[in-house]
Structures are given as structure tokens and as C-alpha cells.
Amino acid sequence: MDASESRLLCFPGLNSSCTRPPKARSEAALLYALLACVSLLTVTLNLLVIVSIAHFRQLHSPTNTLLLSLAVSDLVVGLLVMPVEGLRYTQACWLLGELVCALAPYVSYSLVSASVGNMVLISVDRYVAICDPLLYASKVTPNRAKASVCLCWACSILYNGCILMGHLGQPERYGSCYGECVVIISHVAGTVDLFLSFLGPCTVMVVLYMRVFVVAISQLRVIRSEIFAVNATPSAKRSERKAARTLGIVIAVFLMCFCPYYYPSLAGEDTSTSLSYYALVSWIMLINSCVNPLIYALFYPWFRKAIKLIITLRILQPQSQEYKLL
């Protein structure tokens, strides 16, 4: 082996080491900057949600407990998962050892599953609030919201432990050389995951949100007709369009982020990190953690008010937690 070949090894001097393809410095620098920006934006947006809900007492509600859980899972995705996945694809070599190779996919999948579970809980919360408002306070209590969040996280951890049991026990079994971390989910396990982690949650969210939309519009029409009579028609139509647009964004973003990842399962193939397009579909799915706070928080006026208080450091003032945001 000559010197030029040795420099291309992931671990020079080790004959069983994987080789790394040559990459232009400008290309690598651009990729590093892009991934760092995405990770930083994900952490920042979700941290703003967490600080807002945790600091202001008026925001301590069952609904915001679910938003807080969603923000925590997405924050950890941006803080841990995105840097590790970015290092995997920018370096083209796995430099973090077998232990991290075993744990990184497990942590990533668990966080993403928890994020999806939290979105389903949010849709259930909104369904009860709109469709059964008189009993909402008795059905959705703070303790029940916290219990639902804990159950969501526990199920996510146990479920992904079962899916990745083989990889956790032998993380090196699919590696062809030293310096490679390959995760393969069989077609059977991938199909189960497709139904439990994508089709099932997606169906629940679509059905509940459409039900919420129909009930909300019917309630709006009754109120407008009683109060404003004929003059309310344009306003009602604008509200309908706004509600439809918001629901469309929620469902469309979820589908766009998760559909590509499940392509191998839909095509009858194993899901493997060694696939040529896996990096792309994986990052599209991770981007959902950056978009979630925009969808579920930026639509709320209280969040925009909280951001102003946080950025201007007014939350450091005495009794700032008592500020009225609603």
C-alpha cells in the first residue's frame, strides 16, 4: 500500500480500515456550514418554546405540556442527533466507536417516535377541546397530560428497543470494514414500523383534524349567523380558508418529511443506512424537528409575545413569570 492510498483510509495504518472518498475542501466546508445552521436553528426554536412554556405561569396548561414535550424531543434531535448524523455523512467514516454506533440510531429513532407521538397527543387534545368543550377541563387535566407524555416516551423507548434489538446487541455485524456503522432494518420490521410510526399516526391526525375543522367551521357559522347575520359571510369565508390552510400545512409537512424515509418499506426492501439515498431521506425526516416549533408554536400569538420578552431579557425581571400573554 503506497502513501496516497494510506491517506484515504479512515484509520491509516489499519489494513481492515474503510477507505474514504476524496472530497473538495470547499464542498466539505459548505456542507458543514449548512448542517450546523440547521442544527442551530432547530435547537434555538425549540429552546424558545421550552423557555416560554416553562417560565410563564399562564402557559402552564395541559395543551402546552404536550407542546413542551414535543419541543424537548425536537431539541434533543437538534442537539445530539443532527450533529452525529452530520458527522457520519461529512466524514464518510464512522469515527465514534461501536458503543455510539449502537446507541446513536436507537436515540435517534426513539426521539423521532416520541416527536410523532406528541403530535398525535396534540391532535387528540385539540379534538377534545373543539368537539367536546364543556367536558374538556374534566377530561384533559394536567396530571392526565403528564401521564400521557410519560406513556408516549416509555412506548417510544420500548418500541424502538424491539425494532433495533439486533443492532444494539451486535452493532458491527453489517460492517464490511473498520470505520463503518451500518444499520439495517429488515423488510418485516420496516413494514411494522411503517404502520405503527407513520400510517397509524398519520391516519389519526388526519381524521381528528378534519373532524376538528368541520366542527369549528359549523360553530363559526352558527355564531356569525346569530351575531352578524348577512354581513358575516366574507369573514366566515376568510376564517374557513385560514383554518383549511393551517390544517393543510400540518398534514402536508408531516407527509413530506416522513414519506421519503419509508420508501424502502413501501418498495419491499430492507431499510439500510448504506443506501445511496438514505442520507437525504434521513435528513428530510430530521428537518421535521426544525419545522415543528414553527407549525405548533409560531401560530400562537402568545409565543410571539414570549419571544420578545425572552430576547429583550425582560424575563430576568422580578415577577416576570406572571406576565399576561393570553
pLDDT for the residue 245: 61
Domains in the chain and their CATH numbers? 25-322 (1.20.1070.10)
Nearest to 93 by CA among 170, 37, 2, 14: 14
CA nearest to 85, candidates 260, 253, 254, 273: 273
Q: Are 97 and 26 in contact (CB under 8 A)?
A: no
In this predicted structure, the answer to whether residue 6 has a pLDDT above a threshold of 70 is: no
The C-alpha cell that represents 209 in the structure block:
383534524
Residue 155 and residue 117 in contact, taking contact as beta carbons nearer than 8 Å: yes
Which residue has better confidence, 320 or 68?
Answer: 68
How many angstroms separate the CA atoms of 92 and 82, rounded? 15
pLDDT in tens, 207-252: 888 888 787 777 667 766 666 554 544 444 454 455 456 666 777 8
* 3-state secondary structure labels for all residues of the chain: CCHHHHHCECCCCCCCECECCCCCHHHHHHHHHHHHHHHHHHHHHHHHHHHHHHHCHHHCCHHHHHHHHHHHHHHHHHHHHHHHHHHHHHHCCCCCHHHHHHHHHHHHHHHHHHHHHHHHHHHHHHHHHHHCHHHHHHHCCHHHHHHHHHHHHHHHHHHHHHHCHHHHHCCCCCCCCECCCCCEECHHHHHHHHHHHHHHHHHHHHHHHHHHHHHHHHHHHHHHHHHCHHHHHHHHHHHHHHHHHHHHHHHHHHHHHHCHHHHHHHCCCCEECCCCCHHHHHHHHHHHHHHHHHHHCCCCHHHHHHHHHHHCCHHHCCCHHHCCCC
Is the pTM higher than 0.95? The answer reads no
Evaluate if residue 28 carries a pLDDT over 70: yes
Confidence of residue 5 (pLDDT cuts 50, 70, 90): very low
Q: How far is CA 157 from CA 109, 115, 168, 280, 283, in A?
A: 9, 12, 13, 25, 21
The pLDDT value given to residue 123: 86
